[in-house]
Structure 1
Amino acid sequence: MAKTIFITGASRGFGKLWAEALLQRGDKVVATARDLRTLDDLVSKYGSNILPLQLDVNDRAADFAAIQKAKDHFGSIDVLINNAGYGLFGAVEETTEEEARAQMETNFFGLLWLSQAVLPIMREQGHGHIIQLSSIVGLVGVPVLSLYNASKFAVEGLGETLAAEVKHFGINVTLLEPNGYATDWGGSSAIQTTPMPEYEGVRAAFQASVDDDFWGVPAATTPAVLQLIDSENPPLRLFLGKKAYPMVKQTYENRLAEWDSWAEVSTAAHGK
């Protein structure tokens, strides 16, 4: 059965790939972008099945208006895919206030506003699925991706809490956690801090740790996303890519070992 999917950041990358795959199989898609010209090819090919909307997700009022326009146009919103976001590359000390706030506004607050906007519609319907684009670095901290890490860690916390709050309304929440992919995320859409020479060694070590095999093929994610959307019992978290699970497994093994080594200190701190 065809669904209505609202997807942000549909101008390129994952957003455009998934939007077109959904349209190809007959779903109705509300596709948002800052520049609507980037959606002209989908509009010309799929006609009335796509509703293109100009949207800057940082604008809370515009987010609520876009969700309402989608509901008025198609009658329902079955799935919200919060895909809009960008990468900020730089160490903590290098990051300006403007860069830090802009990263959180887009990657976290934009996603929050759209989630808030769609919830009343999904509650009234008695069903819905909110898919938040997180990242493997929402679970594993990586040097020189400091504020991007922070934004995705925030998305993880929000998503897990939201899932517990809305499950009884028939609404599911999934955190998508890709490893690196060969999209434009690290290219022209990324922002670089002004580098400090003190962090060149850290930056070089990080770059040396990433080989060509690390980057997945973006189009290969499409079957997994379609299966997720079609699932009657979708998972809270879904990794994308072969590198994601081993990275998280190793990270949590290290965390558990450290927690165990400090367990007596932790327990004593309870006081009774």
Structure 2
Amino acid sequence: MRKSWLITGCSSGIGRALSETVLAAGHALVATARDPDLLADFPARYGDAVRVAALDVTDPDAAQAAVAAARDSVGGLDVLVNNAGYGNVNSIEDTSLDEFRRQIETNLFGTIILCKAAIPVMRAQRSGHIIQFSSVGGRIGAPGRAPYSAAKWGVEGFSEVLAAEMALIGVKVTVIEPGGFRTNFADDSTTLDEGRPEYDAVVGAAARMQRAFDGHQPGDPLRAAQVILQVPAMDVPPFRLPLGRDVSEALETADRARLDEVLRWRELSNSTNFPQTGEVGAFRGQVNPSDDTLPSR
């Protein structure tokens, strides 16, 4: 079945690979980039199946125009892919507040802006799929990439809430979590600063690793695109989909460590509840109520 797609950040990397895969499969696409000249070959190759649009994801008006273009191409918007993003390397101390804001604006607010533009269309048609690009850095804090990880963790939390709300109107949500892929993520548009010696063990190491890793990452963008293409066709798609063996292994280790920490400190955590008669917990006589509906502070 032919679907109408809108993908952000189509000029390179997984975004470009996914765009070409979507079009090769016979779907309609609004392909977007900050510089649409980088997509000039698309109309010649794919004809009326593709519309190219300039899009700065932090511009709500441009987001509305891109969604309208997708809606008008085949009468709806079936799949929104929030792919655009970037991340520099530097220490928290040496990253300016302006740079924090720029990365968070693009990686998090750009995602929110496009979702808010697309939701009314999908609500009216009672269908659709929103695919969010997070990262392994959205589940495990990436040393040297505090703004990027902060934004991607925000995407993860935002998407959990989004999925619960969208389920009520027939719209599905999937979060993609790539690891290392052979893209230009470390090209001239990315600043890799080894920083001051005090943080070299993590920040400097991250910058050096990124340079050495570039061109040798295990992930194939075309294979990633083929996997993502399958997701909107699934009756029950995954909410989170890690991409790459490196990510799967890292997340499994991290999630086990988090669970171990929850269990290690459970008694201390539970000690903050009001006592209940007849149900005394092990820590300082406090209770361990089973009611999960109690509000947080």
Which of the two has greater helix per residue?
A: 1
Q: Is the 8 A contact 2:30 2:66 kept in 1?
A: no
Partner residue of 2:258 out of 236, 255, 264 = 255
Alpha-carbon distance, 1:209 to partner:
6.9
1:231 aligns with 2:248: no
Gaps of 5+ in 2: 276-297
* Cα distance change on mapping 1:184 and 1:214 into 2, 3 Å: closer
Q: How big is each residue's C-alpha offset from its partner over 1:34-60, in whole Å with a ceiling of 9 and x where there is no partner?
A: 111111111111111001001111111
SS in 2 for 1:38: helix
Match of 1:40 in 2: 40
Structure 2 matches for 1:148-159, cutoff 5 A?
148-159=148-159
2:196 aligned residue: 196
Give the alignment of 1:71-82 within 5 angstroms.
71-82=71-82
Q: Which residue of 2 aligns with 1:88?
A: 88
Q: What does residue 102 of structure 1 align with?
A: 102
Residues in 2 aligned to 1:216 and 1:179: alpha-carbon distance in whole angstroms: 7
Task: Quote the Cα distance in structure 2 between the aligned partners of 1:90 and 1:145.
Answer: 7
CA contact under 8 A between 2:4 and 2:73: conserved in structure 1?
no
**1:25-174 matched pairs, under 5 angstroms:** 25-174=25-174
Q: Which residue of 1 aligns with 2:292?
A: none
Q: 2-side partners of 1:264 and 1:43: how far apart?
A: 62
Q: 1:201 to 1:160 in 2, by over 3 A?
A: same
**TM-score, normalization by structure 2:** 0.87
Contact 2:57 2:63 in 1 (8 A): yes
Question: Alpha carbons of 1:38 and 1:124: their partners in 2 closer, same or farther (altered >3 Å)?
Answer: same
What residue identity is the alignment partner of 2:36? L
What's the counterpart of residue 270 of structure 2?
Answer: 267
What secondary structure sits across from 2:182 in the alignment? Answer: coil
Distance 1:107 1:259 in 2: 29
Letter in 1 for 2:163: A
Q: Distance in 2 between matches of 1:28 and 1:149?
A: 32
CA distance in 2, matches of 1:48, 1:214: 35
Query: Larger deviation: 62-71 or 5-14?
Result: 62-71
SS in 2 for 1:45: helix
Residue of structure 1 equivalent to 2:248: 245
Describe the shift of the 1:209–1:51 C-alpha distance in structure 2 as closer, same or farther (beyond 3 A). Answer: closer
Which whole-Å CA distance do the structure 2 matches of 1:98 and 1:267 have between them?
40
Q: What's the offset of the Cα at 1:204?
A: 4.2
| Matching residue's letter, 1:243 | D
Cα distance between partner residues in 2 of 1:250 and 1:190: 29
Q: Partners of 2:194 and 2:203 in 1: how far apart?
A: 13
Q: SS state of the match for residue 185, structure 2? A: helix
Gaps in structure 1 of 5+ consecutive residues: none
Q: Which has the larger radius of gyration?
A: 2
Of residues 216, 219, 231, the one that matches 2:222 is: 219
Secondary structure of the 1:105 match is: helix
Q: TM-score normalized by structure 1?
A: 0.94
Return the alpha-carbon distance in structure 1 between the equivalents of residues 157 and 8 of structure 2: 20
RMSD of aligned alpha carbons = 1.8
User: Are the equivalent residues in 2 in contact too, given 1:131–1:175 (CA < 8 A)?
Assistant: yes
Partners of 2:233 and 2:188 lie apart in 1 by 33
Q: In 1, Cα distance between the equivalents of 2:258 and 2:52?
A: 44
Residues of 1 paired with 2:274 and 2:189: CA distance?
Answer: 50
1:201 Cα offset (Å)? 2.4
Structure 1 residues 197 and 100 mapped into 2: Cα distance closer, same or farther (>3 Å)?
same
Identity of matched residues, %: 39
C-alpha separation in 2, matches of 1:56 and 1:271: 50
AA of the residue aligned to 2:168: H
CA distance in 1, matches of 2:190, 2:167: 35
Report the alpha carbon displacement of residue 115 of structure 1 after superposing the two structures with TM: 0.3
Q: Does the CA contact (< 8 Å) of 1:162 and 1:173 recur in 2? A: yes
